[in-house]
Each structure stands twice: as C-alpha cells, then as structure tokens.
Amino acid sequence: EAQVTQNPRYLITVTGKKLTVTCSQNMNHEYMSWYRQDPGLGLRQIYYSMNVEVTDKGDVPEGYKVSRKEKRNFPLILESPSPNQTSLYFCASSLLGAPNEKLFFGSGTQLSVL
Amino acid sequence: AQSVTQLDSQVPVFEEAPVELRCNYSSSVSVYLFWYVQYPNQGLQLLLKYLSGSTLVKGINGFEAEFNKSQTSFHLRKPSVHISDTAEYFCAVSERNSWGKLQFGAGTQVVVTP
C-alpha cells in the first residue's frame, strides 16, 4: 500500500531535549516536505527536499533541521525543542517536477514540549 | 513570495444546501492552486488542482473551483453538501517557478447539520 509513515504519532517531551520525528515513504517520490499545523494558522512549511541531499527552507525553518540521505526517509530534527514548537506536524511526499501529482500526507505527529 | 487568504474561518451549512468557500491569493508570478480537505484526525487529501487551461476545475466528491485571474481568487463550491463533508478545507498556492514551496491558507471549517 502506498503510504507516508510518520513516527511517533504522539510525543511529549521537555524543553531542550533533542528529538527526531521520522518520515518514510514507499512510493519512490523525489519530493518530500514537512509542515506544522497550528489553529488559525493552517499549515506552514518548515523544510522541503527535491531529492537526495537537496533540501531547502520553507516559511518557518527556525529551530528545525532536516536531512535527506536516502530517497525514502526525511527525518525532522529538533535540536533544542521549545514550547512554541508544540504543534501537529505533517510529512508529505510527491513525484518531482510534477505539480499535477498530488501530495501524499502522513497521519501526523502531535508534539507537546513542556 | 506568494500568500493565500481564506476569507471564512468557519462556514455552517445545512445538509443538501450549496456551499462556497472563498480563497484569494497574491503572487507576482503565475501560480498553481489547490484545495485540500482534512477530515478529523487525518492528514490532508487533495480535492482538486488548477495548473493551466480551463478555469473551471472539477474535483472529487462533487466539488469544483473556479480560477479567476483578474480577482486572484480560487473559490471552492459544492451544489449540495452531505453530513460527510464536515471537515476543514485548505486552499494552497505555489509559484510556477518554485513549485516545491507550497503555501496553505489558514483553513475553513465546514460544519454540515441536518
């Protein structure tokens, strides 16, 4: 089954404790992206990647890191989480160079930073 | 840089009545436009997209949208809604010269009542 898998589904952590949210897709998609969803703000793009070793900033990259060492994986790293990073995070993927191809979204990761 | 505004944060509607969700965008270049739907506790799904050509776009579940370049709008419509259409709807825009950067509106919550 074609899917984007995020882990964990829920995560509670404390300020300053490094964490990684994993994202994996099984569709051989070149393009992957991370978004955060906050009430009243919709989805805001954090980082995106057009292919392996190619990443770029979205609208709200501060406090986040990403890496794309393999085509299928695109982890989101919070080196020193803060309470303002409490949010619902979504990973998405699609074929590259084809805006007519839809984005496939993961089920989301609800992060709470205390 | 592009931006997108959804003019209504919540739209209550009775079952079998029509609904229109408004979306305006701004960009200095040509854009691609999308509508996504998010059902409770799920990721986003693509409803429809405008890439080029006919300004009236038909999507899944009976939804359609019209691209109006002069008014920079991309309003979503459905002639008769069902209870199952209760969800949050997001308009999104990407610029044609950098389609990897996708910007979402704040969302419109549609609540369908019998």
Residue A94 CB-half CA count within 13 A? 19
CB A108 within 8 A of CB A92: no
| A10 contact B CB<8A | no
pLDDT, one tens digit per residue, over A18-59 is 999 999 999 999 999 999 999 888 899 999 999 999 999 999
What DSSP line would sit under B45-69, residue for residue? EEEEEE-SS-SEEE-GGG-EEEEET
What pLDDT score was predicted for residue B42?
84
Nearest CB to B104: which of A40, A42, A100?
A42
Region A68-82 average pLDDT: 97
Looking at residue A98, its pLDDT comes to 59
Nearest by CB to A90, which of B9, B43, B100?
Answer: B43
In single-letter form, the type of residue at position B34 comes to: F
Measured in whole angstroms, the distance separating CA A92 from the mean position of its chain's CA atoms is 7
Is residue A13 over pLDDT 70? Answer: yes
Report whether pLDDT(A97) > 70.
no
Chain B residues within 8 angstroms (CB to CB) of chain A: 6, 9, 32, 36, 42-46, 49, 51, 90, 92, 94, 99-107
The per-residue pLDDT string of chain B (114 residues; one tens digit each, 9 = 90 and over) reads: 778 999 999 999 999 999 999 999 998 888 899 999 999 888 889 999 998 889 999 999 999 999 999 999 999 999 999 999 999 999 999 888 777 788 899 999 999 999
* Per-residue pLDDT band at A99 (split at 50, 70, 90): low
Predicted pLDDT of residue B97: 77
Nearest CA to A83 out of A14, A11, A36 is that of A14
